[in-house]
Structure formats: structure tokens, C-alpha cells
Structure 1
Amino acid sequence: MKGSRKKSPPVGVRRSPLDPASLALMRLVEAVRYPEVEAAARRILDGRPSHPLALKALGFALIGQARFEEALPIVRYSLERNPDDPEAHNNLGIVLSALMRWDESIRCFARSLEIKPRDPEVLKNYGVALSRMHQWDEAVPYFLKAIEYHPGDYVEAIEQLASALLASNRNDEAWTCFNELWKNDRSNAAILSQLLTASLKRCDWDELEARLLTLRSLTADYRSLTDNPFVVLSFPGVCAEEQLRVAANFAGHSIPASVLDAPDLHLAVGREGPLPRSRLRIAYLSADYKTHPVGQIMPQVIELHDRAQVEVFGYSIGVDDHSEIRKRLSAAFDHFVDLRDCSVIETANRVRADEIDILVDLNGWTADGRLEALALRAAPVQVTWLGYAGTTGHPKLADYLLGDPVVTPLQHEHCYTETLAHLPNCYLPADTSIALGPPPSRHAAGLPDEGFVFCSFNNSYKFNPKVFDLWCRLLSDAGESCLWLSQPGGTAQDRLRKEFEVRGVDPARLIFAPRVEARADHLSRLQLADLALDPFPYNSHSTGLDVLWAGVPMVALLGDTFPGRVGASLLRASGLEELITTSPDEYHQLALALVRNPLRLHALRARLAENRRHCALFDMPGFVGSLEKVYLRMWNDHLQGARTPVV
């Protein structure tokens, strides 16, 4: 790519031999002077209400000013007057997309392409709508065609292609696109942010620190970054206040202002007096009712809810992978509803129709979430929990964020747009129904027959140079030892081996565990590890639960942000607070001391095995009882028209 073209107006108006007023209007359209286009078009329409050029120009001007609700009837009327105009179908698709009606917009783009199959803008718009519906693999061909048919470099489509590849974990392809885009535009902070995300996913740490500094400079300490806030949770050096800035920017960028600023009539009405029914209606909205970390730790929460107190709904917005965990979850809810193919508006309407009292979103700004439905205020009380360790960034999305005293201490409440609600112990539930079988042999697990085994079964984006500096120093000091990781995708495995080499550690001491189908088998093999190492600034979450349930102690570094305090919360709730450290040096010293003192490590393992029977982390009846008390407090506060921290 040699450079970027100037971004074209979102819609076009065709030139034809016209009267002076129409020609003047066309000149304003070509100059992209939206307010003047609007004024000129309205003057023409005052005398000729069905003037086709003026109608199209007025729609163009309203779209350009982001006045999409006003534009909708104008664009529809223009299309009725010219049903075979591909631009008119595209314009309607643009308006519907802006109003979060992506499923309807797709039909408009499809019709436009039937009339004019090789229009690059419409192909790009079609791909964007599919992406907003989380159909990234389906979106990729449309972006590729848009790039192919566009004269010159279609930078906007390339950016969208790269984002879709990244969201579908095609990390190497995404990195190639973002790297080229960054080479050609060193001022684009959103591109740099996504390049950093792709780099972390593929464990490519070349220039990582320099690029993080550049991103900080370009965005004035993250004040102007509009990238998905989930990605910055793993960026080293980003504080909680900066995470809030990114979340607030992304919420405002992703959801129409007309939705975020609309009066909240649903909440204002509320219920007066006693409940008209005996049980609270609690609903959990998630894309992860499947083989996924969230899906795997939720079953007992649903199964143990007190049906005398609550009626439980599960709204699934993700794929059905036909797994055992999917079957178990769908059977556990009183009502399990598949909303995967529903639009944002249909999702919100279904929640309202079911008269849900408290809607709990389990995705937040993770890849498959549907927070836009919460922006429409689908329930009187809305909660964000579990899948996304951060603030949603706008008070319209969630009233409460469910955490605990460690991950979301009250002194950090200024970093959240939500009111904090604390579970008394760790905010993460566990599935304690899985019995641990005998571990396989070390040889069968791919481990050396002798030596100390460190483990960290985390996603590759949680690793970074400082983490590996510490871990490799630990391996060097620990003598005969190895580091056992889950096998990353793409080319990340080779890069991690090179990182060992650079740090003077034999890459053969890095062992990758292949995926196993049965969760019980994975938990059983974890028992072979001697000590788990928690990454930072994004800690182990469900992976931390796994190692502790398997009886493996974990060393953690207490961070300053929600995702960086989860390891400490897990250890506190499991009765192993002495394994929480406050600096990398203390982390190293503690881990090394445990390697060198087998009796101390054995005592910790024995205590953890004993604690599994009664510690707060694995007391799921107690966990669910506390959760229901928090929900009842939220509901009672709502009835009183109040909202205060639940602690």
C-alpha cells in the first residue's frame, strides 16, 4: 500500500443535467458541506416534495450529521420513489446500521449488490454490518471483494478486514494487515492499538514497549483512544483510570448518542409497592453457554439458585457447540432462550416481554457480547459480571458491577461508571462438581520425568516481556525445572521458544500442553504441576480456579487494576493469602523459596487439599446464597429509588 485515499462521503448523489438550483445543490454535495446541503435540499423540497435529487441529498446531509432517526423516513421515501437505485438501498442500510438494526441493514446492502454487484463501498458496508453481528468469518469475503474492486488502496476496508480477522483469532493474518496499515499511517492510534493486540496474541514483542509509549502519546494517555476496551486490559502500564477512559470512548463510539442520551423511561416507571409475584426474575445474558471459561464456571450458580426466591432465565446469544456443558447449562435454567439470531432490539424486547427484574450481562465488551441491548434498558436493574474484568464505560449500560473487596475495592469506585456490588469473597464462581481423577504419568502429559514443574495455562495475550523476564530468571535460578503452558495458536509457540533463547534458557524447558476434550482430564493432569505462576497485568481468572481446584498453589502479584487483582482474590478466598506478592522481586523470591523448600510447598498443597472441602472459594452453596442477597439488595434499592454500593 502506498498511501490512503481521502475517505469518501458516506453516500453519493449522481450528477445529471439539472436546473441551476439542483446544480448548486450538487456542488454543495461534492464539497461535503452537510448543513448547507440540508438547507438547499429543503428549499427545493418546499416547492417540489418528491424531487428525487433533493430527497437523496437531504438523506445524505442528515446521515453526514449523524441525525439517523431523522434520516430514516427521508431515505425510505427516497427509496420508494427510486426502488431500483442501488445508492438508495445502500443509504437505507447505512441508516439502519447506525441505529443498530444490522440485520435489516444487511438486506438493504444485499439488494444494492444485486443491482450493482461490484460496488466497493456497499461491499464494505455489508462486511461492517456482519462484523457488528459478530459474524466475522462471514464478513471477511466482503471486505476482500471491496478491496479488490476499489480503485487504489481502500484503507477503510483493509482496517475493517484486519479487525474481523483479529476478532476471529486469525491473529497472524490480522497482524500482517495492521502492520502494513501502521507503516503507512503512523498517526492512527486505533490501528496501533489493534496492532499491539495482535502482537500480544501472537507473542510478538518486538517494539512492544516503544509502541505502547507511542500509543500513550498519540492518545494523550488514552483520552482519545476509541478501540475496544477489552484489549487494553492486557496492555502493560495502563492504569484503571485509563481503562475507564477507553471504555467510555468506545461506548460513545459504538452506540448511537440518541440511545445513550434517551430518557430512561423503563427505569423511571419501576414497580411500586410489593412484588406482584413471589420470586425475583433474574436473567443471565451470555454468548458463552458452551465450552468456554465462562460457560465452564457457571453451571452450579444456575443449579443452586433457590427457586423459592428466584426464577432464572438464560439468554444465549452465542453458538450452540452441542457440548456437554451446553446441555448442562440449558437444562439448569428455568427458561433457556436462544437469541443468537435476534437483533439487538429484538433481544431487548424479549427481555422486557419476560418482565425480567435483574438482567446480568456476562460478556461486557468481550468479542461476542451484546451490550447494545443493555443500552436500550431492557430491565429495571442491569448488572455486568464475570466475562469482562472492567467497567462498561457508560452508566446507561449497567447499574452495578459485581466484584469483590479485592478486585474492586471501594477506593477504586471512581474508575467505574457502575455502582460497585461486592460478593464477600472472590467474585468468580467455580464448578466443584468435577471430581479429580488420578493424574496421568508425566511422560503421557509430555513432561520430563524429573524436575520441578511451573505452569501457567493462560491465553497468550497475557504474556509479555516483563512476565517472561521474571519467569526465565526463576527457571535459571531453580535448577532442573520447566514451564508448562497451554499450546497457543498460530506462530506464537515458536516465538515463545525464541524468547526463552534470548533470555538464556533452553527452549526445551518450555513444554506446551495440547488441548484435551474432557475438562476432567485437563484438571486431572494439572495435578502434575508443582507451582502455578500468575501472569500480570492480566491475571489468571478461570485458569487460576482450575489450578487451585487441582490442588496446585499459585504465586500472584497484586496489581492496581481489576484484571490484575484477580489472582490475589482467588488466593485470599482459598486461604493462601501468603502467596500474594506486591512486587516482581518478591514474586521471584517467594516462588524460588518454594522450589528450594519442598516441605513448605508440600504443606501448602496439603492445606489447599484440605481447604477445598470448606474454603470460601469452593463453597458454592454459600456463594450462590451471597449472590442472591446481593440481587435482593439491588432490587430493594431500586424500589426505593436509590442506588448505593452493595458491600
Structure 2
Amino acid sequence: MGKDKKRRNRGAAPKHSVLDPESMALLRLVDAEKYDEVETAARRMLAKRPGHSLAMKALGFALIGTDRYEEALPVIEAAIARSPNDPELHNNRGIVLSMQMRWDESTASFQRSLALQPDDPETLKNLGVAYLRMHRWNDAVPPLLRAIECYDGDFVEAISMLADALFSANRVEEAWTCFNELHQGNPDDLGVLSQLLAVNLKRCEWSEFREHLSAMREKSAGFSVPSGNPFVPLAWPGLSSAELKSIAHHYLRSQIRPPYLEADDNDYGRLRVEQPKRLRIGYFSADLRNHPVGQVISELIERHDRQRVEVIGYSLGGDDGSEVRRRLQVAFDRFVDLSGVGVVETAKRIRQDDIHILIDLHGWTAEGRPEALALRCAPIQANWLGFAGTIGHEKLADYLIGDPVVTPVESAQFYSETLAHLPWSYMPVDTRTLPGPMSTRVQAGLPESAFVYCSFNNSYKYNPDVFDLWSRILRETPDSCLWLGAVGGDAKPRLTQEMVARGVAAERLIFAPRVADKVDHLARMQLADVALDPFPYNSHSTGGDALLAGVPMVALLGETFAGRVGASLLRAARLESLIAHTPDEYAGIAIALYRDREQLGRYRAHLADRPALPVFDMAAMAGALEDLYFRMWQDYTEGVRRPLVSGLSEC
């Protein structure tokens, strides 16, 4: 999950026993957090008294406060050399190193500070935040809990970070306790309310969902103010594309400081006059690992025509040791690990490679570095694949790569980016990872003779409207069952209760255990008869998996990008007849497939003929993507930017 609001690392404010008027005036500026004035006053003092401890500490504090971490580090380290037992200086050094993503050094600094001042709540919180950003979520919990205990009053920021750590660690019931406490303490905090909605969807607790969603819309005046990470509302029923754009725009303004958004674009004049036969394309992501993005993109990177493009992977995340990671390291012409590099250095490093086009695979999903995009890493930047929506500001992305279904021409007003269309689906499918041998239904825990509907989506994509429709389908198909992917915490009994409340026996809802190997997962998916696409946040990579396993999918064509992905995949599979335009039509299609097994068999045979279907033709998709890149570059050299779109016959 992204964070709900900007949490600034301000650094520990200096304390000092010197009481001369100049020092007292400096401390007053520090207390008021007037960073520019603190810097001016501190430098003036240092010019007269080099090495003055209070002035050095105040200068480091001011540089942290203005996000100038590279400048702050030598100042703080010089101060530490003079005062090695000052815990505030070690804490501030840890903050700077954290912002530069030098994790091991930053945690060591926080631990040194805590050795000198064990129960300092700010330093404990900072250590927890560092662990959180390192994805050591369970390690983040103890220092954050201790920070809350040591704080005089309610340490709201630490509680919020604790909630994030617990949520990320999939300890959703504990996370709910924190988010609920924060919401009760301040029901007008929209970021907390957004996260409360998110955690309740994850835990499949819907009793207050509509009430909270109504409150969110009302308190945000129709999402006209910052109201939480834009990824979360993709799963909220009833939101329009216009509202999602507003959420992204206001969130971006609240998260990215003006110096990044207002920085002048870099001079790419040398590249601009170049007419290359081979474009340099960078792919920018922390998900170049065992993650849905890494999984679906692997074959496409392998398929790129090296006579046309050079492809460089910029990895923002650490090596998870997975086969997907190893495969991607080989697939790219160059693979650059930026996991330990700060925002400014990230932009500098990519610029050094003279990239023509940088493809951001994050948007507003976790671990992105939107500030680096705001600093402009390449002449052309495009938003693709990781986030089903607009990033909210054209400074970060010039283009949004979609297709005629997910981003039709008439929806252009809902995106800050210029639309660019792939001819079929924007979603790649890795056809080099195919299903293994099919197991038996008994081995999978399924009834031998039942008709099996399935959905292997994340639990946050389920909601009351989805279960209303799915229970209706089950009630009208007596010997059917619904096979869902594994869910955590108490979500399983809650979903069972929701289905029972809708008139469906509990034993007809079956949960599959987790399997580590994608081949095994695809193998068992073949046992299903029909996949049911959730809404408004459709199956994305999961939808591609179902089709690859030969399972026809029923999808409801929604309004938003995230709600049109199922239809996009079905169009690319040439299965437009499985796209519904209303809930009634959706139910009708799903029930008709139950009743007409011959037609269902024809659909399955159709999907088995993979070479004939655009959804599985990754060589063609790679070529179409390269064509888009060359069209983008041609427009750039001409000094124009126009939509690169195509029309669409009715789905």
C-alpha cells in the first residue's frame, strides 16, 4: 500500500545550554520550523564561530527540513565528530541515510542514538519507519510499539506507521485495530478513513463499508481535496473516472514537494536532434521480481527486437532470489539495481544512460519513486501496467499506455497523460510459463462432479455488489460451487457468512490453499469451468492466468480503467460474447455456460488454440509496443504530442 499522507522526517530539533541572544534567536527559529531562516542564521553563526555545535546541529536540521539530504550528511557527520555522544545527531544522520535508502547505515545510526537515549519516541519511530521501508514489516512493529509506549500522549504518527507495517505484513486484524483507533480519534482524517476502507475490504468486513464510503465522499467534498493513496479507491464501487483523476491529482500535490514539481526540465537537446535507429527504453520498477508485474512482463522483455530497441531494467526493489528475478536480469540488455539510491541520485543515474523513453511500471502502487519522475529522468516518460489509472500530473508521465477498451478515446479527459494505445490488450501474458499437468479435483479439494466457478483475486476486490451477483448465479445453478483463492485472517469465515446470508450453503464456497509455484497454480486453475471477474476492480494478471489455463471468464464492462481490464483481455482473446454490459447480462452469461456445456467446451477449445489469439501473441505485442515508442519519439523530435490511439468496434 502507498502512504495516506506525507510524513516528513524533520530531524531532531537541537537543544543547547548556551543562552546567548544569538543562540536563543536561532532556537526560536528552530522551534518554529522556519527552515530557510534557520539555515541563514546558522551559517551566519558558523562564519563567525566555525564548529559552533548548536549552529552545526541547527544547519543539519534545516537541510533535512528542506529535503537536501546530500548536503545535510557531511554537516551532521562533522557535528558527530565533535559531539560523538549526542543522540540527536545520530538520529538525524539516520534520517538522512534513510532518505538516501542506505538502510543498513541508517538503522545502525538509529540504534546508536537509542543506545545513548533508549526511550526516545522519535528515534524509535524512525527506526520502525526504516524497517518498514526496507520491507522488514514485522521488525518494524516492536520499535513502533515502544515509541507509542514512550510518547507522552497519543503518538498518532507512530500508530499510523504501525498500522501500515501490520497491513503490509498481512496482519490485517491488528492493522484494523490501529486504523480504527486513529479514525475514532480523528474521523475527519481522510487518509486514515481511506486506509480503514482498504483494510476492511482486505479483511472482507463490509458492515460499515457503504457508510464509510459515503463519509469519504462527503468529507472530501466529492474528492476535491487530498483523500489518500489513489490505488485504494480503484476497488471502491460507484467511483467515476473523473473522481479517480481528482483523487490522483490532489494526492500528488500533497505528496510531492514543490521543488520537485517546479524543477526545470533537463536539457535533452542532444537527444532531441538524434534520429536513432535503435531507441533506448528504460523500465522503472521495484517489481522486477516475483510480483504480478514481474511475472507478466518477463516474456515481453525477452521478445523485444534488439535491432530496434535496447532495454534497460531499473530495479527499485531488492533481489528476492526468485526465478522471476533471475529471468528478468537476463532478459534486459542491462539491469541496474537502484534499490539503495535516493530520489535525486535515481534521476541522475538514469539521465546518465541517455534513455529516450522511460516506462514507469508503478504509478501509485507501493515503492514507486514519483519524485524522480517529477525531476524528469528522460525526454519521454510513460505510465504503463502497474497502476490502472492516471498518475495525476503530466510532469511525471507524458503518456499513458492503454488500449481501445481500458482507455477509449472518449475517456481522454480523465487522464493527465496523453493516451497511447496498444492494438489489443495493454496487459501482457507470460506464455512461456504454462500450466503443469492437471491434478484431480479431489486433490484440489473440489467436488468431483460440481460445476466450478472460480476467482483467484485478492480479497480487497470483493465487495457486497460482487457477492450479491455471484450468490445469485450460485442460487440458479444448483450443483455449482465458487472456488476462491486463499484469504488471510478472518476473511474466510466472513466471506462464508456473506454467502450464507445470501442464501447459499457454506460448503459451496471453497478456498484454495496458496501454492508457491506459478506452474502449479495454473495447473489447478484448469480444474475450474468458468472464471468470474470481480468489479469495479477487475482481474488483471489473474484474468490472464485464467485464460492461459483455458478457463473462459465472464466480465462486466465498467466505466473506469480498472473496471475494463477483464473486457480488454476477453477482446484480445476474441471472446467478446463473454463481456457483459449490465449485472443482469453478467449473470445470464454465467448461468448459460452452466446450462450449455457444449458451448462451454467450444470456448475452452478456442482458448487452447493459443497461436490464433492476440492475447497470447507476445511477439506481436512487443512489436506494437516498439511501434508506439517510435511514434512517441517522432512526435518528440517534431515538438508535438498527440494521442496515439485507435478506434474500437463494440465489445
Tell me the C-alpha RMSD between the 2 structures: 3.2
Q: 1:84 to 1:540 in 2, by over 3 A?
A: same
Aligned pairs for 1:248-397 within 5 A: 248-267=249-268, 270-275=271-276, 278-397=277-396
- Secondary structure at the counterpart of residue 532 of structure 1: strand
Is the contact between residue 222 and residue 242 of structure 1 (CA under 8 Å) also seen in structure 2? Answer: yes
| 1:606-631 CA distance string (max 9 Å, x none) | 33334x33121112221111111011
| 1:71-117 CA distance string (max 9 Å, x none) | 88887776676554333444465567678887876565455334323
Tell whether 2:642 aligns with 1:623.
no
Q: 1:509 to 1:15 in 2, by over 3 A?
A: same
- Counterpart in the other structure of 2:157: 156
Q: Which amino acid aligns with 1:633?
A: R
Q: Give the distance between the partners of 2:167 and 2:289, measured in 1 at CA.
A: 21
Q: Give the distance between the partners of 1:570 and 1:306, measured in 2 at CA.
A: 24
Aligned pairs for 1:233-632 within 5 A: 233-267=234-268, 270-275=271-276, 278-610=277-609, 612-632=610-630
Q: Give the distance between the partners of 2:434 and 2:62, measured in 1 at CA.
A: 63
- Counterpart in the other structure of 1:638: 636
Q: 1:51 to 1:638 in 2, by over 3 A?
A: same
Q: Give the distance between the partners of 2:462 and 2:92, measured in 1 at CA.
A: 44
| 1:250-270 CA distance string (max 9 Å, x none) | 333333321221001144653
Q: Which amino acid aligns with 1:385?
A: W
Q: CA deviation at 1:55?
A: 6.0
Q: CA deviation at 1:217?
A: 1.7
Q: CA deviation at 1:121?
A: 0.9
Q: 1:252 to 1:80 in 2, by over 3 A?
A: farther
Normalising by the residue count of structure 2, what TM-score does the alignment of the two structures yield?
Answer: 0.89
Q: 1:41 to 1:407 in 2, by over 3 A?
A: same
Q: Give the distance between the partners of 1:155 and 1:382, measured in 2 at CA.
A: 37
| 1:6-29 CA distance string (max 9 Å, x none) | x99864343636245655665666
Aligned pairs for 1:194-213 within 5 A: 194-213=195-214
| 1:424-447 CA distance string (max 9 Å, x none) | 110011122344455222212211
Q: Which moved more, 1:49-58 or 1:372-381?
A: 49-58
| 1:428-487 CA distance string (max 9 Å, x none) | 111223444552222122111122111111111100111011101111111111001111
- Counterpart in the other structure of 2:649: none
Q: Give the distance between the partners of 2:459 and 2:293, measured in 1 at CA.
A: 18
- Secondary structure at the counterpart of residue 288 of structure 1: coil
Q: Which moved more, 1:321-330 or 1:62-71?
A: 62-71
- Counterpart in the other structure of 2:5: none
Q: Which amino acid aligns with 2:620?
A: G
- Secondary structure at the counterpart of residue 476 of structure 2: helix
> Percent identity between the aligned chains?
56
Q: Give the distance between the partners of 1:319 and 1:17, measured in 2 at CA.
A: 46
Q: 1:116 to 1:616 in 2, by over 3 A?
A: same
Q: CA deviation at 1:365?
A: 2.0
Q: Give the distance between the partners of 1:110 and 1:636, measured in 2 at CA.
A: 53
Q: Give the distance between the partners of 1:520 and 1:30, measured in 2 at CA.
A: 58
- Counterpart in the other structure of 1:3: none
Q: CA deviation at 1:364?
A: 2.4
Q: Give the distance between the partners of 2:261 and 2:147, measured in 1 at CA.
A: 32
Q: 1:412 to 1:134 in 2, by over 3 A?
A: farther
Q: Give the distance between the partners of 1:449 and 1:576, measured in 2 at CA.
A: 28
Q: Which amino acid aligns with 1:564?
A: G
What runs of 5+ residues in structure 2 fail to find an aligned partner?
A: 1-7, 646-651
Q: Which amino acid aligns with 2:305?
A: D
Q: Which amino acid aligns with 1:617?
A: V
Q: Which moved more, 1:109-118 or 1:628-637?
A: 109-118
Q: 1:101 to 1:418 in 2, by over 3 A?
A: farther
Q: Which moved more, 1:55-64 or 1:254-263?
A: 55-64
Q: Which moved more, 1:367-376 or 1:568-577?
A: 367-376
Is the contact between residue 260 and residue 371 of structure 2 (CA under 8 Å) also seen in structure 1? Answer: no
Q: 1:100 to 1:376 in 2, by over 3 A?
A: farther
Q: CA deviation at 1:283?
A: 2.1
- Secondary structure at the counterpart of residue 444 of structure 1: helix
Q: Which amino acid aligns with 2:636?
A: H
Is the contact between residue 285 and residue 361 of structure 2 (CA under 8 Å) also seen in structure 1? Answer: yes
Q: CA deviation at 1:210?
A: 0.3
Is the contact between residue 134 and residue 368 of structure 1 (CA under 8 Å) also seen in structure 2? Answer: no
Is the contact between residue 391 and residue 416 of structure 2 (CA under 8 Å) also seen in structure 1? Answer: yes
Q: 1:52 to 1:316 in 2, by over 3 A?
A: closer
Q: Give the distance between the partners of 1:125 and 1:467, measured in 2 at CA.
A: 40
What runs of 5+ residues in structure 1 fail to find an aligned partner?
A: 1-6
| 1:582-607 CA distance string (max 9 Å, x none) | 22122122222222233333333333
- Counterpart in the other structure of 1:117: 118
Q: Give the distance between the partners of 1:456 and 1:209, measured in 2 at CA.
A: 23
Q: Which amino acid aligns with 1:375?
A: A
Q: Give the distance between the partners of 1:264 and 1:108, measured in 2 at CA.
A: 35
Is the contact between residue 453 and residue 480 of structure 2 (CA under 8 Å) also seen in structure 1? Answer: yes
- Secondary structure at the counterpart of residue 310 of structure 2: strand
Q: Give the distance between the partners of 2:501 and 2:26, measured in 1 at CA.
A: 64
| 1:299-336 CA distance string (max 9 Å, x none) | 22122111111122223333433333333322222223
Normalising by the residue count of structure 1, what TM-score does the alignment of the two structures yield?
Answer: 0.89
Q: Give the distance between the partners of 1:137 and 1:359, measured in 2 at CA.
A: 34
Q: CA deviation at 1:565?
A: 0.5
| 1:222-256 CA distance string (max 9 Å, x none) | 22235222112112222222222222233333333
- Secondary structure at the counterpart of residue 368 of structure 1: coil
| 1:158-205 CA distance string (max 9 Å, x none) | 111111222333322211211122222222111111111111111111
- Secondary structure at the counterpart of residue 298 of structure 1: helix
Q: CA deviation at 1:638?
A: 2.1
Q: 1:369 to 1:63 in 2, by over 3 A?
A: closer
Q: Give the distance between the partners of 1:141 and 1:172, measured in 2 at CA.
A: 17
Q: Give the distance between the partners of 1:74 and 1:325, measured in 2 at CA.
A: 42
Q: Give the distance between the partners of 1:375 and 1:39, measured in 2 at CA.
A: 28
Q: Which amino acid aligns with 2:623?
A: G
Q: CA deviation at 1:156?
A: 1.3
Q: 1:477 to 1:117 in 2, by over 3 A?
A: same
Q: 1:94 to 1:258 in 2, by over 3 A?
A: farther
Q: 1:72 to 1:643 in 2, by over 3 A?
A: farther
- Secondary structure at the counterpart of residue 235 of structure 2: coil
Q: Give the distance between the partners of 1:286 and 1:37, measured in 2 at CA.
A: 37
- Secondary structure at the counterpart of residue 443 of structure 2: coil
